[in-house]
Amino acid sequence: MADTAQTNTGQAAVLAPGLEGIVADWSSDQRAFKNVPWGKAMMWIFLLSDTFIFSCFLLSYMTVRSSTTVPWPNASEVFSLHIGGQDVPLILIAIMTFILISSSGTMAMAVNFGYRKERKITTYLILATAFFGICFVGMQAFEWTKLISEGVRPWGNPWGAPQFGSTFFMITGFHGFHVSVGVIFLLIVARKVWRGDYDQQRRGFFTTMKGRYEIVEQMGLYWHFVDLVWVFIFALFYLW
- Three-state SS sequence of 166-199: HHHHHHHHHHHHHHHHHHHHHHHHHHHHHHCHHH
Confidence at residue 112, expressed as pLDDT on a 0 to 100 scale: 94
- Reported in sequence order, the residue ranges of 3-90 that DSSP labels E, i.e. its strands, are 80-83, 86-89
Look up residue 156 and give its DSSP letter.
Answer: B
Confidence at residue 15, expressed as pLDDT on a 0 to 100 scale: 61
pTM of this prediction? 0.82
Query: pLDDT at residue 155 above 80?
Result: yes
Percent of the chain with pLDDT strictly greater than 90: 64
- Single-letter amino acid, residue 231: V
Confidence band (pLDDT; 50, 70, 90) for 12? very low
Confidence at residue 198, expressed as pLDDT on a 0 to 100 scale: 79
Q: What is the CATH number of domain 16-238?
A: 1.20.120.80
Mean of pLDDT values over 96-103? 96
Confidence at residue 98, expressed as pLDDT on a 0 to 100 scale: 97
Confidence at residue 65, expressed as pLDDT on a 0 to 100 scale: 93
Query: In whole angstroms, what is the distance from residue 108 CA to residue 111 CA?
Result: 5
Query: pLDDT at residue 229 above 70?
Result: yes
Confidence at residue 223, expressed as pLDDT on a 0 to 100 scale: 97
Mean pLDDT computed over every residue of the chain: 86
Helix axes 163-195, 214-233, angle to 10 degrees: 160
Per residue in 177-224, pLDDT (tens digit) is: 999 999 999 999 999 999 888 777 666 666 655 557 788 999 999 999
DSSP H helical ranges for 73-151: 75-78, 91-115, 119-149
Per residue in 168-190, pLDDT (tens digit) is: 999 999 999 999 999 999 999 99
Mean of pLDDT values over 36-54? 89
Confidence at residue 85, expressed as pLDDT on a 0 to 100 scale: 84
Any residues with CB less than 8 A from the CB of 12 and at least 6 apart, and which? Answer: none
